[in-house]
Structure 1
Amino acid sequence: MTYVVPLVEHAPARPFLMADQVGRALAAAKILDEAAPDPYEPGTWRLRAGSKVGAVALTVPGAGAVTVRITPKVPVPRLFFLLGYSADPGGWQDGMVDLAEHSDLLPALAHAVERQTDRALRQGLLQGYRIVEEASLVVRGRIREADQIKRRSGMPMPVEVAYDEFTTDIAENQILRTAVDRLLRLPGVPRAIRTRLLHQRTRLADITTLVRGQPVPAWRPTRLNARYHGALHLAKVVLEGASAEHLPGGLRMDGFVFDMNRVYEDFVCAALREALRPYGGRSVLQAKGVHMDEGDSVRLRPDFVWYSDSGAPGIVADAKYKARKRSGYPNEDLYQMLAYCTALGLSEGHLVYAKGNALLTSHRVRRAGTVLHQHALDLDQQPDALLAEVQELIRHMVAGR
């Protein structure tokens, strides 16, 4: 039997009729905030999505398959803006990705990747140099002497060599090929888009597919690969979010899931960094080397710290996508920010929430005088208005220094 479970990010739990084996499989996959049997309705499971959005297919031995589709609360075009701006604030343009008629996340992503890949490959595959290490009967490049001694025990042939090869099998094409392959394996990609993705895979047929679990090869934006930039940024989203795992009990999970907490955090940090450029200094994301105690044994990692030209910390901020309390912001966020301010020697700290159920507020800490600000960004705005709101937020932060 095939089960289809449609959910919405952070929506209340919903009951679904399904076999206990399938419900337990969903609980084991850990993609939902809640997956538990209903105590009053036998054969019913209550399911609730958290911050993870996307589509996942679970194959359950002896019980069929279940497909979970989690829709983000943020409109899909806005979500693509957040993703794109985080990856490339300077080069991203609203409308760069044509989402056509697709309002669901996965079809929209597959469509966007295919269109951008087609645009990138329209002038042919990009070529470049890559380092090749191999055993050869002909000496070319340089001889890898250590490997020759280790592997050949002094024999003259074959020779372990390394050389630069001018080829299409480079990092940029490998990333696109792997992203296309993974999209073709995901559930919920419409047939028309799948057909176009197969065409792109044919274009990339001679390119090496990246091995799952290994780091994505580095590539550097240049004038020569400028036509690839949009496709590569979207391909990175696919490679970071796609998964194929074997879980306990013979379960197999294939899908595309990413965490809205991470998406929002990356956007806020990138937007703050760009807005602070006119003020000089340097911005550090996921700051390291910050400790709460004098013995440097309790580490802290603020999402964002701005240091002035003198090297002194001037602004600290943390991005919070979801306020978990219905009545307002959670107190534990304030405790965390107070620790950051104390460790950095700052009199003010800033918590930046996605606009929800609470308004802008500030708290002055007793006997310390530290002021903790809680801001809210409205993600339902158009990109220009959203970035303008970030600019206003920066003016507030700078004025408080």
Structure 2
Amino acid sequence: MTFDVPLVEHGPARSVRLPDAVGRALAASRILEEAGPDPYDPGAWRLRAGSRVGAVTLAVPGGEGVTVRITPKVPIARLLFLLGYSSDPRGWRDGAVDLAAHDDLLPAFAHAVERQIDRALRQGLLQGYRTVEESSPVVRGRLRESEQIRRRFGMPVPAEVTYDEFTTDIAENRLLRAAVDRLLRLPGVPRTVRTRLMHQRSRLVDITPLTRGQTPPGWHPTRLNTRYHPALHLSETVLRGWSAEHLPGQLRMNGFLFDMNGIYEDFICTALREAMRPYGGRSVLQARNIHMDEGDAIRLRPDFVWYGESGTPLIVADAKYKARRKRGFPNEDLYQMLAYCTAMGLPEGHLVYAKGNAPHISHRVRHAGTVLHQHAIDLEQQPAGLLAEIDALARRMLHGSAMSPQGSVSSGSFSDT
């Protein structure tokens, strides 16, 4: 018997009656923010979702299991836009795939991936050159002399050769095939979408499938594979999906979960980079080689840093996908941003939240003069409005990097937030 548990991202905890084995398995999987026995209701388990959204089925020995479906707070079409834009800002746009018939995240995502793969393959499978190393009864291409001596002890045949073959069995098609195979193994994919995925797999039947545990092949965007780009980016997202198939105690899990923290962070940083591109300079995401101390022992890693033409850091920002508390945003975020500004010698720092009661709040640090900005982005608006808001935010950041900060600035301490 499989128990179905619907939850909402960062929603209130629910008390659900589950067998102890199923509840313990769910707690061991760590896919939820909270999973433990309900102290006020014997036999029930208190469950609360965190930032992961999607669907996953957990099976335990004895045939029992649980399917957890976590609904995101943002509209599904908007979530897919955030994913697509982060992977390819010039590719995916809202409305590229009609999602009206799918209300749940996994069916909608599987539908979107299948539609993009179908568009990529309409003109036939992409072909290219692939390096092949094999044993052959005849010499073809170049002889691998060291391998010939090591394996054949001087015998002339079979010959160890390497050559370039023009084929459809290339990295791009292998990636599409792997994504299709992965989606077909997931529970919760509608029959209509599964049927279309089977059709796509029949198109890719001659492509070598990935074996379990094998690293997905890498690819590089070129003029020749332009029509594949949206499908390839989404296929990579499929293969990166959080899904552990083996857990302690012979537990088995299969599903697909997105981490909204990572999705939001990737989108904000990519959108800021695109918005600042016309102004020159250089944007670095997940910046490295930044240290807080002079001995370079304490490493910092801000989400976004913009460097001017001279190579000097001028803007630092961190994306935070978290809810505003009743009295304000968490103070720890301000401490972290102050460390970034101090280490890089910047007069301003920016924290970009996914929600908030005010679009912009600023704080001037006592005895330092550093101004810490807190911005709130509305993810529920249409993509055009969302990108326009990011553009306006980028202009505000650029304005503040070139002159004294303006606008509402609080002179209080962090406890004022």
**1:328 is aligned with what amino acid?**
G
Select between 291-300 and 359-368 the one with higher mean Cα deviation. Answer: 359-368
SS of equivalent residue, structure 1 residue 361 = strand
SS of equivalent residue, structure 2 residue 375 = strand
Residues 1:260 and 1:368: Cα distance change in structure 2 (over 3 Å)? same
Contact 1:171 1:219 (C-alpha < 8 Å) held by counterparts: yes
Tell me the equivalent position of 2:56.
56
Match runs of 1:266-345 below 5 Å: 266-323=266-323, 325-345=325-345
SS of equivalent residue, structure 1 residue 249 = coil
1:20 maps onto 2:20 in alignment: yes
Tell me the equivalent position of 1:129.
129
Contact 2:113 2:231 (C-alpha < 8 Å) held by counterparts: yes
CA shift for structure 1 position 400:
0.9
Contact 1:55 1:106 (C-alpha < 8 Å) held by counterparts: yes
1:98 maps onto 2:111 in alignment: no
Percent of residue pairs identical: 74
CA shift for structure 1 position 244:
4.3
1:226 maps onto 2:226 in alignment: yes
**1:175 is aligned with what amino acid?**
L
CA shift for structure 1 position 163:
1.1
CA shift for structure 1 position 235:
1.2
**1:127 is aligned with what amino acid?**
Q
1:159 maps onto 2:159 in alignment: yes
SS of equivalent residue, structure 1 residue 388 = helix
Residues 1:316 and 1:113: Cα distance change in structure 2 (over 3 Å)? same
SS of equivalent residue, structure 2 residue 222 = coil
CA shift for structure 1 position 242:
5.2
CA shift for structure 1 position 227:
2.1
Tell me the equivalent position of 2:406.
none
Contact 2:324 2:356 (C-alpha < 8 Å) held by counterparts: no
TM-score (norm 2): 0.93
Contact 2:359 2:377 (C-alpha < 8 Å) held by counterparts: no
TM-score (norm 1): 0.97
Contact 1:329 1:358 (C-alpha < 8 Å) held by counterparts: no
Task: Work out the CA distance in 2 between the residues paired with 1:312 and 1:346.
Answer: 10
Tell me the equivalent position of 1:217.
217
| Structure 1 runs of 4+ with >4 Å offset | none
CA shift for structure 1 position 358:
5.2
Residues 1:341 and 1:277: Cα distance change in structure 2 (over 3 Å)? same
Contact 1:110 1:183 (C-alpha < 8 Å) held by counterparts: yes
Tell me the equivalent position of 2:140.
140
Tell me the equivalent position of 1:356.
356
Task: Work out the CA distance in 2 between the residues paired with 1:185 and 1:376.
Answer: 38
SS of equivalent residue, structure 1 residue 73 = coil
Contact 2:135 2:159 (C-alpha < 8 Å) held by counterparts: yes
Kindly provide the CA deviation profile for residues 303-323 of structure 1, in whole angstroms up to 9, marking residues without a partner as x. 000000100001000000113
List alignment gaps of at least 5 residues for structure 2. 402-417
Residues 1:16 and 1:106: Cα distance change in structure 2 (over 3 Å)? same
How many residues align structurally? Answer: 401
List alignment gaps of at least 5 residues for structure 1. none
Task: Work out the CA distance in 1 between the residues paired with 2:347 and 2:146.
Answer: 57
Q: Say what the alpha-carbon RMSD is for the aligned residues.
A: 1.4
CA shift for structure 1 position 268:
0.3
CA shift for structure 1 position 148:
2.6
Tell me the equivalent position of 1:84.
84
1:190 maps onto 2:153 in alignment: no
